[in-house]
Structure 1
Amino acid sequence: MMRFIGLVVALLCITISLHAQDTLRVSIQQADSLLVMRNLSLLAYKYEVDKAEARTIQEKLFNNPQLYTEWNLYNPTAQKWFDTGKNGQKIVQLQQVFRIAGQRRTAIRLAEEEKRMTEWQYYELARSLKYELHVSFYRYYYLNNAIVNIRSRLDLLKNLISIYEQQYNKGNISLQELTRLKSTYFEINNKVNDTQTELVQLQETLKVLLADDRAVAPVRGASDAVVAVLPAATLPELVEKSMENRPEIKAAQSIQAQTQLRYSLERKEAIPNLMAGAVYDQAGSYVPNYSGVSFGLQLPLFNRNQGRIQEAKAGMAQANVLLQSRRQEISHEVETAWKVFQLLDAQYKASGGDFEAQLDLLSKGLVSNYSKNNISLLEFTDMFEAYNSSIIELNQLKADLNKSYEELNYAVGEDLH
């Protein structure tokens, strides 16, 4: 018997352990670290940075020399095939192209600038994913907190309904009273189910972001604030910070620099490359074993790269306008995020910091007081519905407030903690 009990306990421990392994409990700091290490979108985009680095390496390489050789096939005088020996004929020519107008140096700078832009785009992708992670993390945490609180009260109400059904069958209470309790239960339960549907969607988002098949359980640390705190900086200061911090601005500035370099490169490409080389001709020149040097370039009579120069010039003007547009958009984003945060922060403060504690205190004796006939059915159902609706709405407000704070962080380009 003792051996059987020991086996049951061991199996129970294994089951609990496996269940724990199926859940990933993470704080927001741990989730940020996992995002960088695991997220497949980020990992894939890192290869774009590697590709840009490879293009920079390629631009630094010199052109390969060209080797040209010509060998005698048949000598009709000597009636000899492949007469390439001492009295035969062969030509060997080696040629190298030199970019004499600084094209290579400018092309290297352009490739380096393209790499820099790719890095800024990687940072922007990381910021976007971090924003999505934080919003999903906090919303899941608060909505799940609301569900846990409501579920315990619904269980009490369910037990109460079970008791009242027995009393109704005995004829001690009316059908109207029992139906009213059931209607209250189903109404609140429907709200819980709607919220749980959103939790399922948030759970899938967290799994994808963290690249983990386990259920993700967001946890709050002891030092984490319940809701975000309004930053002390003024709106103009936040706008100024956004112009300094936002990767989109850096990327747009990089594009602007690229168009300037491309314009410079196209102008330099109008200057022909110099071709220089050496030639050896065994018996085909005016003297045997002729050797000489060669130089050549294209004469820029018709094609002076006019079209590409004009295109690059238009690209510079376009990049300037796009940079101004990006700055304008980001300025409006910061202003909008700032105003929304102020509205939600004021709304949360108006509810009072102890509102949730008051609701909890109210709900604890609600079922007991109704069972003892201290309050009427109408009072009980009204207060029960008000409590559960307020719990959901309060936690949704907290989630919305944290979301607006994350939007402000994203708009400014830095954490404002």
Structure 2
Amino acid sequence: MKRLYPAWGVAALVSILLLQSKAHAQVSSYTDTLRLSLPDAEKRFIDSNLQLLAAHYDVDAQKALIKQAGLWDNPVLSTDHMITADNKWFPYGKTTSDGAPLSQYAIQLEQLIYTAGKRGKQINMAVTNGRISELQLQDLLRNLRYQLHAGYYMVAKQIAYRQIYQEQLAQLQKLSSGMKTQLEAGNIARKDYLRIQALVLSLQQDMAELDRDIADTQTDLRVLLQVKDGSFILPATNATALFAGVNASMPEQIDAVIASGEQNNPYYQLQQAQVLYQQQNLAYQKALRVPDVTVQTNFDKNSNVAINYWGVGFSVPLPLFNRNQGNIKSAEATIKQQQALTQDAATSLRQDIRNAYQKLAIALQQHNSSREQFYEDYRGMQENMVKSYALKQVGLPEFIDFFTDFTTSQQRLIAQQLNLALAKEQLNYAVGTDVVK
């Protein structure tokens, strides 16, 4: 048994080294692949996302309402005509036997005039409402852009994980195949073979779970990018190159970052605009206490007073019972409600920025050259460990422990790189602008 062990071990070693040289090719080849860089994905997202398109239409609709708010009410024209008199239909131009005219008609023109600056207040509310719509669009863009970037980085991480699983699984399957032959020849213990089989099953289960996660991420990205078919969205570069291009450094002092957030975060600005809108609504509700005036002019042909009667008049409702008291109190309460929400948004903004700032600091601390060198050295050890196991210089338990630790270490490296990219995106998202380029 001892004479045969190195033979199958060397065979397994040769197969493993060949597999390692083809690691990149072993990543699943997806049909209908859509390969995009992050800038290309963002451009496609801006051009085709239907949620953004709908929000743009809402902005246009609110701008149209600003113009509508400034329009005067149309004048009202009313007429009154005689139909029959002395058994004569439409007796226009006809007279009685004594020369008196038979026909009579009246024309009246009315115009509603708003008082207390109601029209100007409505225009102000419409302008603020348009601003609210624009801020809602900006906030939607901020949220969807963060989802796009996070999803893009997540796909890169998931594909890198899958490549690790594929490499390790291929190694174990080759090793398992060689051990099966030796088991049948009675050269190794069955427990050693079963331990390798257990590792194979564990990796296969991990890969299946990862594939489910990949499917979920792909669905989200297809919706964001409006991909109509089932194309697999693949980053233009692998995870190593992608994350290597993520350059991040700590921005200025936290207080300056918070001040920038107060000026640029669209959700916080939206809450402030809502306060302004409610204040304008209160002013409008108070203006409604003042009644509007309807002015009119009329002409009456052959009236009882004169043959050609011209008159002017006006009408105004008397504010004896309804002085809009309920709507005014409601508007005052709504202002207080919105002010409370704005204060809450300010607190959330500051804490979100502080949290993201701290996470970026932690990610940068973890992301340094010494740690990168450790992972490079660890990758080099893998090859030596395989050789040592093939030559029986290490036992199976030690080999399995190293194999498991190596897989975990490679995943941690990718997760560490992903955390830096996401920490950068999260801080930019919280502030509302790219404070970390």
The answer, yes or no, to whether TM exceeds 0.5 is yes
1:137-148 equivalences under 5 Å are: 137-148=152-163
Residue matched to 1:303: 322
Residue 84 of structure 1 contacts residue 90 of structure 1 at CA under 8 Å; is this kept in 2?
A: no
Residue matched to 2:378: 359
Instruction: State the 1:364 CA deviation.
Output: 3.1
Residue matched to 1:219: 236
Q: Which moved more, 1:234-243 or 1:350-359?
A: 350-359
Instruction: State the 1:114 CA deviation.
Output: 0.2
Residue matched to 1:11: none
* C-alpha distance in structure 2 between counterparts of 1:252 and 1:361, whole Å: 55
Secondary structure class of the residue paired with 1:216: strand
Q: Which residue of the other structure, out of 262, 277, 300, is the alignment partner of 1:281?
A: 300
Q: Which residue of the other structure, out of 65, 83, 89, is the alignment partner of 1:81?
A: 89
Q: Which residue of the other structure, out of 345, 353, 357, is the alignment partner of 1:326?
A: 345
1:34-73 equivalences under 5 Å are: 34-73=44-83
TM-score, normalised to structure 1's length? Answer: 0.88
Residue matched to 1:12: none
Residue matched to 2:109: 94
Residue 30 of structure 2 contacts residue 232 of structure 2 at CA under 8 Å; is this kept in 1?
A: no
Residue 228 of structure 1 contacts residue 405 of structure 1 at CA under 8 Å; is this kept in 2?
A: no
Q: Which residue of the other structure, out of 142, 154, 161, is the alignment partner of 1:127?
A: 142
CA pair 348-215 structure 1, distance change in 2 beyond 3 A: same
Residue 49 of structure 1 contacts residue 119 of structure 1 at CA under 8 Å; is this kept in 2?
A: yes
Secondary structure class of the residue paired with 1:290: strand
Secondary structure class of the residue paired with 1:353: helix
Residue matched to 1:395: 414
Q: Which moved more, 1:26-35 or 1:360-369?
A: 360-369
TM-score, normalised to structure 2's length? Answer: 0.84
Instruction: State the 1:348 CA deviation.
Output: 4.4
* C-alpha distance in structure 2 between counterparts of 1:322 and 1:329, whole Å: 10
* C-alpha distance in structure 1 between counterparts of 2:154 and 2:377, whole Å: 22
Instruction: State the 1:387 CA deviation.
Output: 0.8
Identity score, percent: 28
The alignment status of 1:271 with 2:271, answered yes or no, reads no
Residue 121 of structure 2 contacts residue 284 of structure 2 at CA under 8 Å; is this kept in 1?
A: yes
Secondary structure class of the residue paired with 2:372: coil
Instruction: State the 1:358 CA deviation.
Output: 2.3
Root-mean-square deviation (CA, aligned residues, Å) is 2.3
CA pair 374-285 structure 1, distance change in 2 beyond 3 A: farther
1:56-98: CA deviation from partner (whole Å, max 9, x where unpaired): 12112110000111111321xx222333446301111111111
Secondary structure class of the residue paired with 1:354: helix
Secondary structure class of the residue paired with 2:250: coil
1:239-271: CA deviation from partner (whole Å, max 9, x where unpaired): 111111110121112111111211222222222
Residue matched to 2:20: none
Instruction: State the 1:330 CA deviation.
Output: 0.9
Q: Which moved more, 1:213-222 or 1:100-109?
A: 213-222
CA pair 329-403 structure 1, distance change in 2 beyond 3 A: same
Instruction: State the 1:287 CA deviation.
Output: 0.7
Residue matched to 1:5: none
Residue matched to 1:245: 264
The alignment status of 1:338 with 2:357, answered yes or no, reads yes
1:99-110 equivalences under 5 Å are: 99-110=114-125
* C-alpha distance in structure 2 between counterparts of 1:52 and 1:142, whole Å: 42
Q: Which residue of the other structure, out of 20, 29, 33, is the alignment partner of 2:39?
A: 29
Residue 81 of structure 2 contacts residue 105 of structure 2 at CA under 8 Å; is this kept in 1?
A: yes
Residue matched to 1:185: 200
| AA partner of residue 204 (structure 1) | T
| AA partner of residue 120 (structure 1) | L
1:209-246: CA deviation from partner (whole Å, max 9, x where unpaired): 11113211023496864555242322222211111111
* C-alpha distance in structure 1 between counterparts of 2:374 and 2:213, whole Å: 25
* C-alpha distance in structure 2 between counterparts of 1:232 and 1:64, whole Å: 58
Residue matched to 1:198: 213
Which sections of structure 2, spanning at least 5 residues, go unmatched? 1-28, 95-100
1:345-379: CA deviation from partner (whole Å, max 9, x where unpaired): 43444970223322322223443432232322122
* C-alpha distance in structure 2 between counterparts of 1:129 and 1:97, whole Å: 47
* C-alpha distance in structure 2 between counterparts of 1:84 and 1:134, whole Å: 80
Q: Which moved more, 1:295-304 or 1:163-172?
A: 295-304
Secondary structure class of the residue paired with 1:69: strand
